[in-house]
Chains A and B, each alone.
Chain A
């Protein structure tokens, strides 16, 4: 043996043993640690490895389509390109974001925010940076692909409204689910980042349209790439809606209002179906679909004309002379008036210390109820109203659905207002003066109605006393297009108004258009139109006279309500134009155009059917 080994006390020997001891200790620790991890904690790590490789991938269900009554598409989902980023694949995130911000024209800070706010469910997860890329953006991204590692162009979907702003207030729009909505029971199947209906029918009928997401359980590798499908659940596509709205009529009407703010509702008098609901100015729901920009949003909400407001159901104004129809019905039904009742109009009437004027200087002379409706004589209705009494008028107004929401399938409907003496005492702590009754008799003062309420009550007058709940959705179809639910017309109440009363009022309305009454401009040669004009006054009646010189914003609001054909009514409409001046001059010609279009479309469709 060597000389080294002969002396175990040799320091060299001792030092080697020291090193050996250290090495053995280290190996012992390592072995114990492995033993602990594999044998004692093995189960825990096995579960972790399962979680690692098995992932549930959501398969989003396509949102249902919204059709018009003739199955033309109003709202659908179309494929689109979106820019996504996988953080793990990027090389220099900051400079890539700067570059992307130039291509996508989105501020870099916004892109950083998007990345930060996106939930990180695992490594190699795609984060959507911008939806609905234009062709140029896609081309630019592809061109600079090598400079942008980790950035991809993917196919996604975006809600699209092929007719643009058409019926925007009815259809509404979709948007990303908010933090608050995520906690609501009704959205329990919706995930962060998903789109849901946020306004209009998209929102109200969201539960039909949204469908149910499917999913698949897949085994993935570390990059999240699919290796094997372990389970599959097919998504259920959203149901489709068929509306009562007629796309062509709606489109035609939307162009009639021009630059004016206002609302027009057309209703089928036989079943309460809404054929058109226009609120002007409108907005384009497409701008919400791919995420509205701050600038666009701010323009919409700060616009002095409030384009987001659905004036057909959310604006309420005094109905003006349109209300005289209610007063006439109340008078005839209570017996205060009859067909042969006459009053004298000398251009004004004095009650107490105040004098109340008719719109016609010099007055109408003595006239019957029929003539009073035709010429919309205020003095006749002041006297009639005083005789009927405010309570009776309010009762009939409420019977015809005024002062309460119609119950249409849209949110935030206003109820309008019908004043009563009891209300005034309670709310304003003042007496109901006779003057209040006079104002009410010609549809001014505290009273207010929405355009939808107006057309709804005209419908009831036209169809013999059936008050419908206005209907927007005709049926629900499944994704294959088979009807799964027909929505029947709902009658709010069948009014017990005598046929005689309705006939007198209807003939009066016919006279308004056809006997050189206030709406002679709505007269159509071959179609018998009945209607009533109205003017919601902005300034007191007593200052009347110089109204033509008033600035635009102080001009009266104009109304026309009517229906056609007179003998066998099919459609009723309400035309309301803000600051439109006189109803007869502004609204009656618009109504005429609508009636013409409706009957022309009807004729064309009949012929098309005959030819098939």
Chain B
């Protein structure tokens, strides 16, 4: 299946950067959980390693098929994923406390909302690649909006507002790159803004609290502002070179809730300092710039749009997650790609990397 041409165009440096990030992630998960009282928590870094292996296998699977082939199954994936989301909303996940995000399948929990992001890229890329600037009219815009809205609403209802909102920048960047006329973009922007007050009224109390605590973190340092304040303390106390592996008091004494998942960047910042942050942010930037480079040099319109969609997934995850940890944005449950603990997230991200590599490998074929 692999011919020699494909292999010469395989970008090893991108895969290397991804593996470095995954390695950092496993070390940080170990650091964050090794003193945990629960054996299950202490074992998370091992689970993440297994997930990394599975994800690598999926990556290989992704690059082995031409992305034009994959796109053909876009609608199929899109339908399956939305059925899973509906199944979750119907209570199929058996989730407690009104949260239905995970599906347990043979002892492994997967989070369909993670897949939604890549599937959104596939379905939009497939649709947009066949339509040029002058083809996009009211009907096309409506179709695009419907394609966006179905998973968006389903994920919002889980409720997982953070993941749902991540679909927006992916959508926007993709239609931007696909040369959707500017008037449509302005129209969308105006519509979005006018919908804000309505959206605010439909927020859950904890979501409002998160936004309030972002605006004024010192309002209630032991209540809603606690997480952000503790996280900022962790980041700041890391200093230039960090406090050393397993030596961050904020992380080791578990002042930061969810510090092996969404807040893992605070462990990185505390224990490895500014130098560690720069290395990790640098690796992300490297991956993103590689992706943009692939987009510019893709064989066709489909490759370009798809690559930019994937670039937007990574960019916005990193920006949102890090901003949240350092107090620049309200708390949203967005993981840091490759680093935060979470099998589905790792799996999706690796598939996304696989798609990028795929576009790169097949630019001459």
Contacts and interface: CB of A to CB of B under 8 A. Distances in A.
B158 interface: no
A52 B250 CA distance: 8
A38 B240 contact: yes
Contacts of A219: 249, 253
A interface majority secondary structure: helix
Contacts of A48: 233, 236-237
A19 interface: yes
A483 interface: no
Contacts of B252: 221
B254 A223 contact: yes
Contacts of A227: 253
A122 B222 contact: yes
Contact of A13 (B253, B274, B296): B296
Interface in B263-312: 269, 273-274, 277-278, 281, 284-285, 288-289, 292, 295-301, 304, 308, 311-312
B304 A4 contact: yes
Contacts of A19: 173, 176-177, 292, 308, 311-312
Interface stretch (A22-30, A233-241, A392-400): A22-30
B244 to A, nearest CB: 14
B308 A39 contact: no
A46 B236 contact: yes
B141 interface: no
A12 interface: yes
A568 B273 CA distance: 89
A45 B318 CA distance: 23
A100 to B, nearest CB: 22
Given A16-B304, A33-B326, A4 B232 contact: no
Contacts of B235: 34, 37-38, 45
B323 interface: yes
B269 A4 contact: no
Contacts of A27: 281, 284-285, 318-319
A52 B284 CA distance: 32
A39 B274 contact: yes
Interface residues of B, number: 55
Interface in B216-275: 222, 226, 230, 232-240, 249-250, 252-257, 269, 273-274
Nearest to B242: A38
Contact of A1 (B249, B255, B289, B297): B297
Contacts of A15: 176-177, 179
Contact of A42 (B133, B239, B297, B301): B239
Contact of B288 (A5, A23, A39, A120): A23
B5 interface: no
Contact of B296 (A4, A120, A122, A222): A4
B68 interface: no
Contacts of B312: 19
Contact of A20 (B230, B292, B301): B292
B37 to A, nearest CB: 9
Given A27-B281, A38-B273, A45 B237 contact: yes
Contacts of B177: 12, 15-16, 19
Contacts of A5: 296-297
Contacts of B323: 30
Contact of B236 (A18, A38, A221): A38
Contact of B298 (A2, A18, A31): A2
A44 B233 CA distance: 9
A46 B237 contact: yes
Contacts of A162: none
B315 interface: yes
Contacts of A23: 288, 311, 315, 319
A41 interface: yes
Contact of A222 (B238, B255, B289, B319): B255
Given A20-B292, A48-B236, A49-B234, A34 B319 contact: no
A34 B326 contact: yes
Interface residues of A, number: 44
A49 B250 contact: yes
A16 B328 contact: no
A247 B284 CA distance: 82
A37 B278 CA distance: 13
B interface majority secondary structure: helix
A20 B232 CA distance: 28
B249 to A, nearest CB: 5
Nearest to B175: A15
B363 interface: yes
Interface string B311-332: 1100100110011001010000
A16 B249 contact: no
Nearest to A123: B222
A44 B236 contact: yes
B179 A16 contact: no
A46 B240 CA distance: 12
A456 to B, nearest CB: 58
Contacts of B308: 16, 19
Contacts of B232: 37, 45
Given A12-B177, A19-B312, A20-B292, A220 B236 contact: no
A222 B250 CA distance: 8
A12 B240 contact: no
A16 B173 CA distance: 9
Contact of A49 (B226, B233, B274): B233
A363 B277 CA distance: 112
A88 to B, nearest CB: 9
A223 B237 CA distance: 20
A42 B298 contact: no
A53 interface: yes
A45 B234 CA distance: 7
Nearest to A49: B237
A138 to B, nearest CB: 27
Contacts of B297: 1-2, 4-5
B209 to A, nearest CB: 15
A308 B156 CA distance: 66
Contact of A38 (B269, B289, B304): B269
A390 B357 CA distance: 119
A491 B173 CA distance: 98
B57 to A, nearest CB: 30
A16 B236 contact: no
Given A2-B300, A52-B249, A30 B322 contact: yes
Contacts of A18: 176
A50 B233 CA distance: 10
A551 interface: no
Contacts of A123: 222, 226
Interface in B174-189: 176-177, 179
Given A31-B278, A38-B238, 8 more contacts: A16-B304, A26-B319, A27-B281, A30-B322, A38-B235, A42-B239, A219-B249, A227-B253
30 contacts: A1-B297, A2-B297, A2-B298, A4-B297, A4-B301, A5-B297, A12-B301, A12-B304, A15-B176, A15-B177, A16-B292, A19-B311, A19-B312, A23-B311, A26-B315, A26-B319, A27-B284, A34-B326, A35-B274, A38-B274, A39-B274, A41-B236, A45-B235, A46-B237, A48-B233, A53-B250, A122-B222, A219-B253, A220-B253, A221-B253
Interface of B: 133, 173, 176-177, 179, 222, 226, 230, 232-240, 249-250, 252-257, 269, 273-274, 277-278, 281, 284-285, 288-289, 292, 295-301, 304, 308, 311-312, 315, 318-319, 322-323, 326, 328, 363
Q: Which 3 A-B pairs have the closest CB atoms?
A: A45-B236, A221-B253, A49-B237
